[in-house]
């Protein structure tokens, strides 16, 4: 993360905050206010109660995500599929000798409270590394972690995640599950943790493919795991078997609070960090949280569509993963509706609303998508409501049941009637030459 900080500086997309900020609400408020203005990353050099600088909004730009995965002329979804379907290459490699890291305690780190009703400080960029107890395959996954004291975190493990499966297997044997919590991971590791891979594949290997080289690994001090040597901060520990304690409330990614509940307990055995480490702070539900999730979810949907229907050019999930927008090159009457049906079946947890648009629509601009829907035909006959379809898996009260599918493409055979108007030369205008 510290290395990528230099890249942000070179690209003039870093804002620096030198004044002291309070980690309780003020730091998060500055992040959110900044994200309303631009997509710059933020570096907080003076966080009350900690000597660690805090870096935020690193992953809050779709353009930066494309650069991180080396998309170049490709879309993000095209490049992501190439990386995830490439197969084993650039596997993680142990480094030949121990690299010295400093040792501390959890309370040395910035203890950030983000939202008004959060139960306390949370580690929100928390990437857990653990191994399948049976196969030994390493897994990376995100899980919010509530700070209790220097020896205890309380963690919500989503029931569908591999880490939850590992924990259940260990707990069934009456054993603790060892895991390492990676904070301030290098971009390749962070993005690999966003992937949904088959259980026999390792996200660490994917991180190596994203980075274009094998990841150097170092052994942990108190547990039998290896972690990326380039991770700035690592918390070692174990999930205790048959122990649940109250965690929450917490402001989740969908914009509301998840109330307090009994969740897993992580016993901390060591905290190590690289000299000059930078801490990664992430506001859940902000662009930095949603952009990577949206992009990798879109890639999963794109894979399904490319194997099902013709003419799919790009897919995005915007402004959150419950909305999917598909760009197509339309080739027959009803083509858009076929794409809608395929998209609805591509990812059953999400896709609450699906749009299909023509190739001239900016799918990363929801206003442009709505313009296409509202101006290119009837509002009623181009929308399909599917009642009582199960939605997001964590939805006991069925608030996310149902689907809305909208064909916002041009009427077949009448494309010329709906052609966009244009002003010649507007894209070449340099306003500085006209306005003083």
Condensed to tens digits (0 to 9), the pLDDT of residues 197-215 reads 888 889 999 999 999 988 9
Q: Give the count of beta carbons closer than 10 Å to the beta carbon of residue 435.
A: 6
Cβ-contact 67, 39 below 8 angstroms: no
Cβ-contact 160, 141 below 8 angstroms: no
What pTM does this model have? 0.89
| Of the listed ranges 16-25, 96-105, 121-130, 331-340, the one predicted with least confidence | 96-105
CATH number assigned to the domain with residue range 308-418, chosen from the 4 options 3.40.640.10, 2.40.30.20, 1.10.10.10, 3.40.1670.10: 3.40.1670.10
- What pLDDT does 81 receive? 93
Residue 373, pLDDT above cutoff 90: yes
How far is Cα 236 from Cα 176, in angstroms, rounded to an integer? 13
How far is Cα 228 from Cα 416, in angstroms, rounded to an integer? 55
Residue 99, pLDDT above cutoff 80: no
Q: Report the candidate in 26, 33, 182 with the shortest Cα–Cα distance to residue 109.
A: 182
In order of 174, 244, 263, the CA distances from 240 in angstroms are: 9, 9, 11
Rounded mean pLDDT of 226-239?
95
Q: Give the count of beta carbons closer than 10 Å to the beta carbon of residue 72.
A: 8
63 phi/psi in degrees, rounded to 5: -60, -45
Residue 13, pLDDT above cutoff 70: yes
* Average pLDDT over all residues of the chain: 92
Q: Which residues contact 310 (CB under 8 A, 6 or more apart)?
A: 331, 335
In 173-294, DSSP assigns E strands to 177-183, 216-219, 226-228, 233-247, 250-251, 257-258, 261-273, 279-281
The β-bridge partners of 21 are: 47
3-state DSSP call for residue 253? Answer: coil
Strands 233-247 and 177-183: antiparallel
Q: Which residue matches tokens 């894209």?
A: 427
Q: In the CATH scheme, what is the code of domain 2-286? A: 2.30.110.10
Residue 6, pLDDT above cutoff 80: yes
- Domain boundaries defined on the chain: 2-286, 308-418
């Amino acid at each position: 993360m510290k290395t990528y900080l230099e890249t942000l500086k070179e690209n003039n997309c870093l804002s620096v905050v030198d004044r002291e900020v309070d980690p309780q609400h003020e730091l998060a408020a500055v992040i959110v206010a900044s994200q309303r203005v631009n997509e710059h990353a933020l570096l907080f050099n003076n966080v009350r109660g900690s000597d660690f600088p805090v870096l935020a909004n690193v992953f809050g730009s779709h353009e930066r995500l494309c650069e991180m995965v080396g998309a170049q002329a490709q879309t993000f979804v095209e490049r992501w599929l190439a990386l995830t379907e490439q197969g084993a290459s650039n596997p993680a490699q142990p480094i030949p000798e121990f690299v010295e890291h400093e040792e501390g305690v959890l309370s040395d780190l910035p203890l950030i409270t983000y939202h008004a009703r959060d139960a306390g400080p949370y580690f929100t960029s928390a990437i857990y590394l653990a191994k399948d107890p049976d196969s030994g395959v390493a897994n990376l996954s995100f899980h919010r972690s509530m700070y209790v004291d220097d020896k205890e975190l309380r963690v919500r493990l989503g029931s569908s995640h591999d880490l939850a499966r590992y924990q259940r297997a260990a707990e069934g044997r009456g054993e603790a599950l060892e895991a390492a919590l990676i904070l301030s991971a290098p971009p390749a590791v962070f993005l690999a943790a966003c992937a949904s891979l088959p259980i026999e594949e390792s996200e660490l290997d994917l991180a190596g493919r994203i980075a274009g080289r094998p990841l150097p690994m170092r052994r942990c001090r108190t547990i039998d795991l290896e972690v990326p040597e380039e991770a700035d901060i690592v918390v070692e520990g174990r999930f205790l078997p048959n122990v649940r304690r109250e965690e929450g409330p917490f402001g989740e990614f969908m914009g509301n609070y998840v109330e307090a509940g009994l969740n897993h307990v992580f016993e901390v055995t060591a905290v190590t960090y690289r000299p000059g480490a930078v801490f990664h702070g992430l506001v859940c539900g902000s662009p930095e949280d949603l952009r990577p999730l949206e992009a990798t979810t879109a890639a999963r949907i794109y894979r399904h569509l490319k194997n099902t229907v013709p003419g799919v050019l790009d897919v995005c999930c915007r402004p959150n993963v419950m909305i999917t927008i598909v760009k197509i090159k339309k080739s027959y009457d009803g083509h858009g509706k076929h794409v809608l049906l395929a998209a609805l079946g591509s990812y059953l947890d999400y896709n609450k609303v699906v749009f299909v648009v023509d190739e001239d629509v900016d799918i990363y601009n929801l206003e442009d998508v709505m313009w296409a829907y509202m101006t290119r035909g009837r509002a009623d006959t181009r929308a399909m409501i599917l009642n009582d379809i199960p939605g997001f898996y964590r939805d006991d009260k069925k608030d996310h049941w149902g689907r809305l599918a909208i064909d916002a493409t041009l009427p077949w055979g009448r494309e010329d009637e709906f052609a966009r108007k244009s002003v010649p030369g507007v894209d070449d205008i340099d306003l500085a030459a006209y306005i003083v």
